[in-house]
Structure 1
Amino acid sequence: MGAAVETKLPEIVLSGLTMPLILRPAAPVSDEELMSFSRQNKPFRIEKNAEGEIVMMTPVGGQGGYWETFVASELFFWAKENGGMAFSSNVGFNLPDGSTLSPDASWVSQQQWNALTKKQQAGYPPLCPEFVVEILSASDSRQLLETKMHVWMANGAKLAWMIDPYGATLRIYRAGREMELLERPDSVEADEVVPGFRLSTARLWDEA
Structure 2
Amino acid sequence: MTAITFNLNNIIKLTDDQFYQLCRDNPDVKFERNALGEIIIMSPTGGETGRHNARLTAQFVFWNEKTKLGEVFDSSTCFKLPNGADRSPDVAWIKKDRWDALTSEQKEKFPPIAPDFVLELLSPTDSLQETQKKMQEYINAGVKLGWLIDRKTGRVEIYRPGKETEILQLPASLSGEDILPGFVLDLKTVWE
Q: Pick the TM interval, shorter chain.
A: over 0.9
Cα distance 1:18–1:121, how it changes in 2: closer, same or farther (>3 A)?
Answer: closer
Match of 2:191, SS state, is: helix
Aligned pair count reads: 190
Do the aligned partners of 2:2 and 2:125 also contact (CA within 8 Å) in 1? no
SS at match of 2:190: helix
User: Given the alignment, which residue of 105, 108, 130 partners 2:116?
Assistant: 130
Instruction: Indicate yes or no: 2:165 matched with 1:172.
Output: no
Moved over 6 A (4+): none
Separation (CA, whole Å) in 2 of partners of 1:177 and 1:19: 29
**Are the equivalent residues in 1 in contact too, given 2:5–2:40 (CA < 8 A)?**
yes
Letter paired with 1:38: C
Partner of 1:12: none
Q: Residue 146 of structure 1: which of 132, 147, 158 is its match?
A: 132
AA aligned to 1:63 is E
Change (3 A) 1:61 1:43: farther
1:157 aligns with 143
Query: Counterparts of 1:63 and 1:50 in 2: how far apart (Å)?
Result: 30
In 2: Cα distance, 1:19 partner to 1:95 partner:
20
1:199 corresponds to 2:190: no
CA distance in 2, matches of 1:80, 1:33: 34
Aligned-CA RMSD value: 1.6
Amino acid aligned to 2:131: L
Give the corresponding residue for 2:42. Answer: 57
Is residue 2:77 matched to residue 1:91? yes
Query: Which of the residues 13, 24, 29 maps onto 2:14?
Result: 29
Can you give the 5+ residue segments of structure 1 that lack an aligned partner in the other structure?
A: 1-16
Distance in 1 (CA, whole Å) between partners of 2:149 and 2:2 is 25
> Which residue identity is paired with 1:58?
S
2:48 alignment partner AA:
Q
Q: Deviations over 1:135-169 (max 9, x none)?
A: 10011011100110000000000000000000111
Per the alignment, residue 116 of structure 1 pairs with 102
The 2-side partners of 1:96 and 1:18 are apart by 26
Matches within 5 A, 1:12-23: 19-23=3-7
- Tell me the SS of whatever aligns to 1:202: coil
Deviation, structure 1 residue 21: 3.2
Give 1:42 shift: 4.2
Q: Do the aligned partners of 1:31 and 1:123 also contact (CA within 8 Å) in 2?
A: no
> Which piece of structure 1 moves more, 107-116 or 27-36?
27-36
Q: Output the CA distance in 2 between the equivalents of 1:97 and 1:21.
A: 18
